[in-house]
Structure 1
Amino acid sequence: MALWLAALLLMALAYPFYVVHRQTLGEHRPIRHTPAEWGADYETITHTASDGIVLRGWWVPGRGERAVLLLHGKGGDRNGEQTGIFELGRWYWERGYHVMMADMRGHGESGGKYTYFGVREHVDMLRWIDALDTKRRYRWALHGFSLGAATALMMQQKAPGRFTWVVADAPWIDFATLVKKELEKRAWLPPFTYPYVRWVAETFFGQSFKIADNQARCQRLCGRPVLYLFEDEDTLLTPYQRERLETLCPRAETVRFAGVGHVEAFRDDPKAYTETLKAHGL
């Protein structure tokens, strides 16, 4: 009996390691479509992160001074079939923007194994932009989806005044609440296991749940040029996340898209989505 109890305890302690590993894995896949399909000249660009990981993306020259960095979500990439980010890049380019599209670490054709919920990704992207735009010729906007949206918010906070606009499509606000919901949904772990899971993630996988949380960040960005987009049928982010944002920043500019799921608003209705962007000066 004692051996069985010891084995069960060991399994209970080990299982969260497996869960964290699975939930923080990125997703690599080859890039099939390129901006040549838009009729655009483009450059394949790379950047080596501070820990040696090589990131890959595109630079698509436009006209004038406006530039935009597009950031995919977890499990996505530059081609972004769930979000339609590739076609969104075309839309920005046709409006004259210089377009930067990147595979974040652990995704697409970039190196790395894990995702860090924006904590390392925002540093990667800030340094990449600085390396690309050394003379600060461009007026940058950021447009991110889910993980990419959280990354964009972190970039805006870290480099105030660097970005003219941030579009955050489906960012989490309260990270702990999101993690607890996902642990129960995907791993059958009740909320009381959260402190142990967090300890495992931070001690053995290099995560930082404190930095990944956007509540204080959204308060600090209140009144700054950030457009928050939410989808009414999002099964990842409950309405609580949007409501929490509106509590923390009553002045937050938010738009809700009806009848679509997580980060699917542009893909399902590009006209309504881009009209929203144009209405906000993008």
Structure 2
Amino acid sequence: MKLKKVLQIGAPLAFSTGTAVVSAILYQYAFKRADVPAQPPRITADSPYYVGDQWYQQVAKEKWQLNPSDPEQQIQGFYIPAKDPDSKKAVIISHGYKGEARNMAGSAKLFWDDGYHVLMPDNRSHGGSAGKYINFGLLDRLDYLDWINKMIARLGPDCEIVLYGISMGGATVMMVSGEELPSQVKAIIEDCGYSSVTEELTYQMRVQFHLPKWPFLPVVSGINRITLGISLNDSVSSISQLHKNTRPIFFIHGAEDTYVPTYMCIDCFNATDAPKDMWIVPHATHASSYATDPGEYTRRVQRFLAKYVPAEKERD
């Protein structure tokens, strides 16, 4: 066989093989769950999250579950009753990428101090929940419908529910926003969530690995379809779901965020016609808006909720 013929056959084969290998490595890197450390990282007393973490370790909580009879689909969450058992305010909090419920202790305490019952799930393939591969909120959004219904069953049909999430959790609650939500869901707060999984992965491939979207992302999407049963097209994304959203939503994002770039927040804000507000936090990097100015963060969250949660009272 002449060299030209060998190259004509071999070059595409080598390209296809190389693409498949690189895509498989990318998939494992981005989607494989992180092992839960035997000992969580210690938060020092000078951290803005220290008080919340200490509170979380000591406060009474209940372990809730979805799919308790199926070990491969079992999902856990931690429910913390409000100080006032008659409170009708509740928040469901979604954590970030490769995090877990405990990482949201500071946010949970913010709401708990304000009289809310708090539910903090470990999303699929995170913390103590089952799963081998992370779905970036594409499937988690459906679990949150079940968490909402469990909260209503616990507190009664007159409860008032807020959805709150940071980073991947922010994207998750945005994706939940486009589902058919019960009337008890009054408002949503998302902090530094991405506009779509494909947009975020494309950005990360370019920034971290200097790789283009094509041909790698379509192969990664195909692997995900085989592994988790859902492709990475934008038929389900923060943007597409926000087009259907009717709930008031508060968008928060760090002005110096280079992990989920700030333009994604603006794109998400523009995607919904529901009542909305946006705060681009000066000097804040990714998922650090609260740490950058805890007092102002708390005031803005409470001021927003006072408009849309009937049981909430405006704070001075």
TM-score in terms of structure 1 length: 0.85
1: distance between equivalents of 2:69 and 2:30? 24
Aligned to 2:244: 220
Q: Give the equivalent residue in structure 2 for 1:69.
A: 92
Q: Is the 8 A contact 2:165 2:172 kept in 1?
A: yes
SS at match of 2:137: coil
Equivalence for 1:273: 297
Matches within 5 A, 1:91-106: 91-106=110-125
Trace 1:222-261 onto structure 2 (pairs within 5 A): 224-249=247-272, 252-261=276-285
- The alpha-carbon deviation at position 199 of structure 1 amounts to 3.0
Return the letter of the residue paired with 1:56. Q
Amino acid at match of 1:118: G
How big is the shift at 1:172?
A: 1.3
Please identify, of 54-63 and 205-214, the stretch whose mean Cα deviation from structure 2 is larger.
205-214
CA gap 1:79/1:73 in 2 versus in 1, 3 angstroms:
same
Change (3 A) 1:159 1:50: farther
Shift of 1:132: 4.5
**1:170 corresponds to:** 192
Deviates more, 1:188-197 or 1:53-62: 188-197
- Residue in structure 1 matched with residue 48 of structure 2 by the alignment: none
> Do the aligned residues in 1 keep the contact of 2:289 with 2:297 (CA within 8 Å)?
yes
1:31-87 deviations in Å (ceiling 9; x for gaps): 85675645x32212222279742222211111210010111011111221xxxx202
Residue 271 of structure 2 aligns to which amino acid in structure 1? L
Q: For 1:141, what is the secondary structure of its paired residue?
A: strand
Equivalent position to 1:139, from 160, 167, 176:
160
Residues 49/152 of structure 1: CA separation in 2 closer, same or farther (3 Å cut): farther
Partner SS for 1:133: helix
Q: Please, which of 230, 241, 254 is the counterpart of residue 207 of structure 1?
A: 230
**Identical columns (%):** 21
Residue identity matched to 2:60: D
Instruction: Supply the AA of the counterpart residue of 1:57.
Output: G
Cα distance between partner residues in 2 of 1:197 and 1:153:
23
**125-134 vs 266-275, greater mean Cα deviation:** 125-134
Please state how far the C-alpha of 1:109 moved relative to its aligned partner: 1.7
1:41 has 2:30 as partner: no
Comparing 123-132 with 62-71, which one deviates more in the overlay?
A: 123-132
Once the 2 structures are TM-superposed, how far is the Cα of residue 137 of structure 1 from its aligned partner?
Answer: 4.9
Inter-partner Cα distance in structure 1 for 2:219 and 2:204: 15
Aligned letter for 2:27? V
Does structure 1 retain, via aligned residues, the 8 Å contact 2:248–2:276?
no
1:53 to 63, 66, 73: 73
Please give the per-residue CA displacement for 1:185-225, whole angstroms capped at 9, x wherever unaligned. 3343212223333333334443332344222222222x631
Q: 1:148 aligns with which of 153, 169, 179?
A: 169
Count residues with an aligned counterpart: 276
- Residues 1:88 and 2:85 are matched in the alignment: no
1:28 aligns to what SS in structure 2? Answer: coil
Distance 1:269 1:74 in 2: 23
> Which stretches of structure 1, 4 residues or longer, exceed 6 Å deviation after superposition?
none
CA pair 225-19 structure 1, distance change in 2 beyond 3 A: same
Encode CA deviations 1:141-194: one digit per residue, 9 max, x unaligned. 111012111221222321333411100111212443322111223343212223
Q: 1:249 to 1:41 in 2, by over 3 A?
A: closer
Distance between the aligned counterparts of 1:234 and 1:99, measured in 2? 28
For 1:82-110, what per-residue CA distance to the aligned partner results, in whole angstroms no more than 9, with x for missing partners?
Answer: xxx20221121121111111111111122
Larger Rg: 2
